[in-house]
Structure 1
Amino acid sequence: MNRFPWSIGVACAAAAALLAWGVHALVPAIPLLTAAVALGIIVAQIPAARSAITGPLASGLSVASKRFMRLGIFLLGLKLSLIDIAHLGWLTILLVVVLVLVTFAATYWLGRLARLPHHEPLLIATGFSICGASAIGAMSGVVKARDSEAATPVALVTLCGTLAIGVLPLFWHPLGFTADQFGHWVGASVHDVGQVVATAQLAGSSALAIAVVIKLTRVLMLAPMVSIAALAVHRRDSRSIADADPAVHNLVTAKRPPIVPLFVAGFLLAVAIRSFVPLPELVLSIADVVQTALLAMALFGLGTGVRVRELISTGWRSLLVGLASWALIAVLAYGAVVLS
């Protein structure tokens, strides 16, 4: 008897991550994490594979999409230096924060207006405003969303982020941007870090550096947004339990979970270490490889929850919300570049 029933699913996710790396190596314009999500989506559409995904591979894919996602988010903090972010200047930082908050609120409102089910409005808002599929995975873990609930937001943010790689460069010169301004726009409007790199590198190394720092500033917003969501969910659940059974409510309150989820606290700790502790380049390089591998496996797991047929037949409202959010953040990011 297999003492680790999740091992087969994890091995499958690891193989998919390696395959995604191979795709990225052959076609550098395709970000590794985007390739991992896309592979998960493709595999999930194969009837023969679907039975395995929902059967013997299910527990392992769940471990990858939840636990590995949290470990990857923790290590993602080592990419962030508060010193680099401070060099952007207070106005740029303020505009990035406002951009995230406005996009998040507007997308969430659009999702509610479109009557998207369950946690979809929250997850789409998180993915489009902060850092793509990784943010969706982090938020879904906090609000205890099912993998099937995260599937549509992951598919949408992957679709729009991939389109951005080809679409945004077309507007570079018509908008009158310098190379650095284009990098700023890309960092403020594209969802996933890998997609930012693939898009901004066309404008040169200086534009790429600016884009990455702007993007990582948005990533930093993941911690407070997830913590606020965790607190809101806890209060909602407490009220529901209190209405149903006051005795159970008192027991749950006594075992209240932390306001800041453990992996978010670890993310902030990693940011602090990266900012104030001189780490050897070898350590940072190893952490970067491990973080990328963990997130690739996690995103493959999330991708396997996507059912394209169901998305086409019932997800048109979600698609409209995603496209509207994508257009909104591009316009707001343009304004932020002009004002900076």
Structure 2
Amino acid sequence: MENPKSVLIHKIIFLSAALLSLLPFISPALALLMGLAFAQLMDNPYAVSSEKATHLLLKLSVIGLGFGMNFFSAIKAGKEGILFTIASIFAVLSIGYLIGKLLKIDFKTSSLISAGTAICGGSAIAALSPVLKANEKQISVALGTVFMLNSVALFLFPAIGHWLHLSQSQFGLWCAISIHDTSSVVGAASKYGEQALQIATTVKLARVLWIVPVSFAAACFFKTDKTKIQIPYFIALFILAILANTYLPFIAKVSPYVVSVAKSGLTLTLFLIGSGLSFKTLKSVGISPLVQGLVLWVFISIVSLWTIITWAT
């Protein structure tokens, strides 16, 4: 049994680090790094609460970011990304299935990793898990694989973008297609610039909607009750936020403050995600699922980058 004094110290350190991540000079990448460092040194004393808070904070932060966007710009960004979205989702799901068979990975685990890479990381895994009737081990392995690669992307993508001199539009599109989780997409894009952030957020959320048809297809295949499908309702609120910012002048006046709070919420979200990725968690993933996730991620990153540089402006 843990020493009560030790538990208290862990709680104080965790809460202090969480509050520190809300300060303006702490970037999303640094917040994630802080969380990862904490996870290696000690257990998260609020593990269950952190997981619940992560899902809620991410949704609220994304809705808040909508108040910083213009409806017509968002529509344009969505149109630019739709063909990339459809092609990449089908390609990743198909290749993921073949890699899973080749590496002899459990079908449900392989499917969750493929969906997490193709659509939107942890959100897709959470939505598909009840439909696939996945157990806790299968869900944990898929989440661990996706979050590990997701964390690398947050640091790697902005560096590659600057090295290749990608435009704001190109980088935003690349992030939305190639980075798993919405949180890291927004984190990487916000580091690159405001236009990149707007494009990345809009295209990524259009991508998130694909959870619905993919979940229905999986429900038919596994003969699962379709009421278990989780529809991402927060996207509707994100669209309403964009409309309010575009058409309501009094909303537009306070929008910068709302966006600022939303970005802080996103940074805290990344700290909480990092705090759950201990070495023990990462070790439990195993080599085969990690290879599948890595191959899929490298494939979609390289192909989408080449396509964007060749065709997108």
Q: Which residue of 2 aligns with 1:57?
A: 46
Instruction: Using the TM superposition, give the Cα deviation of residue 126 of structure 1 relative to its aligned residue in structure 2, in angstroms.
Output: 4.9
Q: In 1, Cα distance between the equivalents of 2:209 and 2:39?
A: 33
Matches within 5 A, 1:236-247: 239=223
* Counterpart contact for 2:115–2:121, Cα < 8 Å: yes
Q: Which residue of 2 aligns with 1:245?
A: none
Compared with structure 1, are the counterparts of its residues 152 and 15 closer, same or farther at alpha carbon in structure 2 (3 Å cutoff)?
farther
Matched, 1:154 2:152: no
SS at match of 1:25: coil
Instruction: Using the TM superposition, give the Cα deviation of residue 268 of structure 1 relative to its aligned residue in structure 2, in angstroms.
Output: 1.6
Match of 1:167 among 160, 165, 171: 160
TM-score scaled by length of structure 1: 0.65
CA deviation digits over 1:43-101, x for unaligned, max 9? Answer: 2222xx22xx3xx52332232234434444444554555411333595x3443323542
Compared with structure 1, are the counterparts of its residues 61 and 216 closer, same or farther at alpha carbon in structure 2 (3 Å cutoff)?
closer
Instruction: Using the TM superposition, give the Cα deviation of residue 12 of structure 1 relative to its aligned residue in structure 2, in angstroms.
Output: 7.4
Q: Which residue of 2 aligns with 1:215?
A: 200
Q: Which residue of 2 aligns with 1:25?
A: 25
Q: Which residue of 2 aligns with 1:287?
A: 258
In structure 1, runs of 5+ residues without a counterpart are 1-7, 202-207, 241-252
SS at match of 1:87: helix
Instruction: Using the TM superposition, give the Cα deviation of residue 223 of structure 1 relative to its aligned residue in structure 2, in angstroms.
Output: 3.8
Compared with structure 1, are the counterparts of its residues 124 and 299 closer, same or farther at alpha carbon in structure 2 (3 Å cutoff)?
farther
* Counterpart contact for 1:105–1:125, Cα < 8 Å: yes
* Counterpart contact for 2:174–2:308, Cα < 8 Å: no
Letter in 2 for 1:148: S
* Counterpart contact for 1:123–1:136, Cα < 8 Å: no
Aligned residues: 286
Instruction: Using the TM superposition, give the Cα deviation of residue 127 of structure 1 relative to its aligned residue in structure 2, in angstroms.
Output: 4.9
CA deviation digits over 1:126-178, x for unaligned, max 9? Answer: 55445xxxx43322432357573423311211113312222343333xxxx6x
Instruction: Using the TM superposition, give the Cα deviation of residue 20 of structure 1 relative to its aligned residue in structure 2, in angstroms.
Output: 2.8
Matches within 5 A, 1:263-274: 264-274=232-242
* Counterpart contact for 2:187–2:267, Cα < 8 Å: no
Letter in 2 for 1:331: V
Matches within 5 A, 1:193-232: 193-198=186-191, 200-201=192-193, 209=195, 211-232=196-217
Matches within 5 A, 1:32-47: 32=28, 34-46=29-41
* Counterpart contact for 1:69–1:137, Cα < 8 Å: no
User: Which contiguous aligned blocks of 4+ residues in structure 1 show a shift greater than 6 angstroms?
Assistant: 8-13
Match of 1:275 among 243, 248, 258: 243
Q: Give the share of equivalent positions with the same residue, in percent.
A: 19
Letter in 2 for 1:86: I
Matches within 5 A, 1:122-137: 122-130=111-119, 135-137=120-122
* Counterpart contact for 1:151–1:305, Cα < 8 Å: no
